[in-house]
Amino acid sequence: MTISTTTIQIADDLEVPRLGFGTFQLTDQDAYDAVRVALDAGYRHIDTAQGYGNEAQVGQAIADSDVDRGEVFVTTKLKPSNAAASDVHTTTGHSLKDLGLDHVDLLLLHWPAEHVAPLEETLTAMTEVKDAGKTRAIGVSNFPSVMLARAFDLAPIVTDQVEHHPFLAVDPIETVLHERGGFLTAYSPLAQGEVADHDTLMEIGEAHGVSAAQVTLRWLLQKPATVAIPKSGTPERIRSNAEVFDFELTDDEMARIRGLDRGHRLIDPDGGPAWD
Ligand SMILES: NC(=O)c1ccc[n+]([C@@H]2O[C@H](COP(=O)([O-])OP(=O)(O)OC[C@H]3O[C@@H](n4cnc5c(N)ncnc54)[C@H](OP(=O)(O)O)[C@@H]3O)[C@@H](O)[C@H]2O)c1
């Protein structure tokens, strides 16, 4: 992997933009409008999922934008209920049809789904989808560290997309990713908006003339091999969240933000994995 502040190169011909745009809870016209604004604002990585119900709007926004499809890194996620091999194949096809694309760049399993199919079956089918050219890379989401290591043993995965922000560290997952050469995708990177009025983050922001949200996103981009996918449905915030490439946090500021961890998990549904 070759890493810069803006991209992570995971193959000779595949770069992941480190700032992505999240689309959870954006539906219908709101999803379309937000993705159009995001592409205009410079985002080149869009995160959607079968479960978000917005693949068609996301795809239409990409098609209608002035940005070439080849410049946009598109991620979608398989619903856990689609983890059986035949459903992996069939529903990836449905996602591509809804998105209006012949391939996505990254296909993730949204949550562990061994109650539906053995992990090996799901990951083997996802690898076949990759080999067929329908996605350029595969990965997992919401996998704790031990399960993540198993996934690396079973298939050529590149990332684990998990909740990560200043109030929730994920050290065991980062250790596995580092050992196996994968990258972390930080979801809910703004702690669903909670970072915005945090005293320490605002104080650091004042020193750089930026907001607490911008400080948080910059912190993630200065960490090793980390991608951040903030969501906003507000045009000014979509734009300001992308203005994180013209200031730099000091080592001391990085450490202060790391010190804000309090195990504050926002997304922990019934039936979800046990976290380490
Ligand atoms: N794999 C998974 O299971 C999983 C789970 C959750 C999320 N995700 C992905 O990660 C993305 C981001 O996570 P998220 O949507 O949960 O949370 P987030 O990006 O941390 O925060 C989004 C919230 O913060 C607000 N916000 C955005 N920018 C702001 C700013 N500059 N100042 C103040 N508030 C701001 C937004 O409000 P407005 O919209 O009103 O601006 C929204 O309420 C999702 O959209 C999705 O793509 C994946």
pLDDT (tens digit per residue) in 182-230: 999 999 999 999 999 999 999 999 999 999 999 999 999 999 999 999 9
Active-site annotation holds for 32 = no
- Which residue of the set 32, 43, 52, 187 is catalytic? 52
133, 103 Cβ separation under 8 angstroms: yes
Q: What is the pLDDT of residues 46-61, one digit of tens each?
A: 999 999 999 999 999 9
Q: What is the pLDDT of residues 12-41, one digit of tens each?
A: 999 999 999 999 999 999 999 999 999 999
Q: Which residues form ligand 1's pocket by a CB distance below 6 Å?
A: 22-24, 47, 110, 141-142, 161, 187-193, 196, 211, 213, 229-234, 237, 240-241, 267
Taking the mean position of all CA atoms in its chain, how far away is CA 234? 19
Which CATH fold would you assign to the domain 2-258? TIM Barrel (3.20.20)
pTM of the prediction?
0.98
- Specify the pLDDT at position 276: 84
Q: Is the pLDDT of residue 237 over 90?
A: yes
Q: Is the pLDDT of residue 66 over 90?
A: yes
Which residue from 232, 241, 266, 268 has its CB within 8 A of the most atoms of ligand 1, so it is best to mutate?
Answer: 232
Q: Is the pLDDT of residue 88 over 90?
A: yes
Q: Is the pLDDT of residue 108 over 90?
A: yes
Which atom from ligand 1 is nearest to the alpha carbon of 266?
A: 16
